Amino acid sequence: MTANTEHPSLLDLPPLSAEHFAAVEDKVAALLRTRCDVVAMQGEALLPLEACIRSAAPRGSTALNVITGPYGETFGGWLRDCGAEVVTVTAPFTGSVGVEEVARALREHPETGLVSLVHAEAATGNTNPVAEIGAVVREHGALLMLDAVASVGAEPLLTDEWGVDLCVVGGQKALAGPAGVSAVSVSERAWERIAANEQAPRRSYLSLLDWKERWLDGGRTALPHAPAQLEMLALEQAVDRIAAEGLEASIARHRSASAALRAGARELPGLAPYVVRDQDAAPAATTLRVPAEGVEAREVVAAALKAEPRVPLQAAAGPLAAEMLRVNHYGRAADRAVVLDSLRALATGLESLGVAGAESAGRQALAAAGAAWDGTAAA
């Protein structure tokens, strides 16, 4: 993109009105299939995630934290920081959490007041059965907080039907929108419990109650502070674009990308989907295992990006960087050509690292991926 300093399109815009801000929130509520309050929060999604936990986990309460990747670990730290007793259920990064494990933990800890769960994890490429877990949590009576940042727009997300009390989304993944603003839906039950928590942040950037008192309860007519105008406009455009495409079509595109990537990766020597079962695989991103002797995932990524610098490949963070890489096929990258280019780059990268048979396997991978895309797109 070229900057046009004479006619800057991002500057000198008319102020974003309270009415417009509320309209963007309503569009997000429609996307989340919720009739609950939706609050747009002016920061990256970690802001409402931390706000939810600090609001809904009183000192001395018990919280069940489901860990299926790095975000769950972060939530555990915040919960302990709030003084909550944390019960942890951990699922392997090769799959999803079972509803039975959640049910058992709730039976063993009937005092649980909050369950924190990540819907899909871009970092570990897995997705969890929220509908089933939501039913179990609702029967128990605890609040359910869901991190749906990596699932919104990429797979079904039925906030009210599934009984999600606090549903956090951001624009930066499947919506291909801004990262600097995010949103959370808050159920009536959640508001009651948050209001009863004396420790819940007040007069703070982390405060959900401030937004309730200063924005929602006044009928959303006056904003409490200057709106993050550019980010809100970008979020609106992202949600409008998904609506124009059709949410179902966006979900289908992500599903096809996942199926194609997994089918193609199975043909490549030394690579395999990290998440074993298709139904546990996040439609937004695919993680791949690199079991080849002497070849590390980060080397494969570097070699692949050297061949095709624009494909959405990334080595896993931390200790997993040796054995896991990920393909971020979300947003505009949930696209047939991008998926095929990613596989071609991986084959070329493996070839350049001396992995035997990578070149011919690459051709098979492209054929398998194309067939899988077309098969799921037709389904």
Ligand X SMILES: *Cc1c(COP(=O)(O)O)cnc(C)c1O
Q: What is the Cα–Cα distance from 71 to 155, expressed in whole angstroms?
A: 19
Q: How far is the CB of 294 from ligand X (least distance, A)?
A: 31
Closest to ligand X by CB, 44 or 155:
44
Q: Which residue has the closest beta carbon to ligand X?
A: 150
Nearer to ligand X, 234 or 303 (CB): 234
Of residues 122 and 350, the one with the C-beta less far from ligand X? 122
Per-position x/- string for 71-110, each x denoting binding to ligand X as judged by CB under 6 A, each - no binding: x---------------------------------------
Under the binding rule (CB under 6 A), the answer on residue 121 touching ligand X is: yes
In the complex, the smallest distance separating the C-beta of residue 52 from ligand X, rounded to whole angstroms, is 12
- Single out the residue of 53, 46, 114, 113 nearest to residue 78, CA to CA: 53
Q: For residues 150 and 68, give the distance between their C-alpha atoms in angstroms, rounded to a whole number.
A: 13
Q: Does 45 bind ligand X (CB under 6 A)?
A: yes
Q: Are strands 62-67 and 166-170 parallel, antiparallel or unpaired?
A: unpaired
Choose between 45 and 208: whose C-beta lies nearer to ligand X: 45
* Closest to ligand X by CB, 242 or 372: 242
CA distance to 154, 205, 230, per residue, from 227 (Å):
27, 13, 9
In total, the chain counts a number of residues equal to 379
* Parallel/antiparallel/unpaired status of strands 182-186 and 313-315: unpaired
Applying CB under 6 A, which of residues 38, 39, 105, 149 lies at the interface with ligand X?
A: 149
The dihedral through the CA atoms of 335, 336, 337, 342 has a sign that is positive
Maximum distance among all alpha carbons in the chain?
67
Contacting range for ligand X; rule: CB under 6 A; set: 10-18, 53-61, 167-175, 237-245: 167-175
Q: Which is nearer to ligand X, 49 or 340 (CB)?
A: 49
DSSP secondary structure code for residue 53 in this structure: H
CB of 287 to ligand X, least distance (A): 12
Handedness of CA 314, 331, 75, 119 (dihedral sign): negative
- Stretches 24-32, 53-61, 145-153, 311-319: which one binds ligand X (CB under 6 A)? 145-153
Q: Would you count residue 173 as binding ligand X (CB under 6 A)?
A: yes
Q: Output the smallest distance, CB 173 to ligand X, in A.
A: 6
Identity of the residue, 44 or 267, whose beta carbon is nearer to ligand X in the bound complex: 44
What CA–CA distances, in Å, run from 197 to 42, 53, 55, 109, 192?
23, 11, 7, 20, 9
**Which of 28, 47, 117, 122: binder of ligand X (CB under 6 A)?**
122
Degrees, nearest 5: CA angle 280-286-292 = 105
Segment holding 67, helix H or strand E? strand 62-67
Positions in the binding site for ligand X (CB under 6 A): 44-45, 71, 118, 121-122, 147, 149-150, 170, 172-173
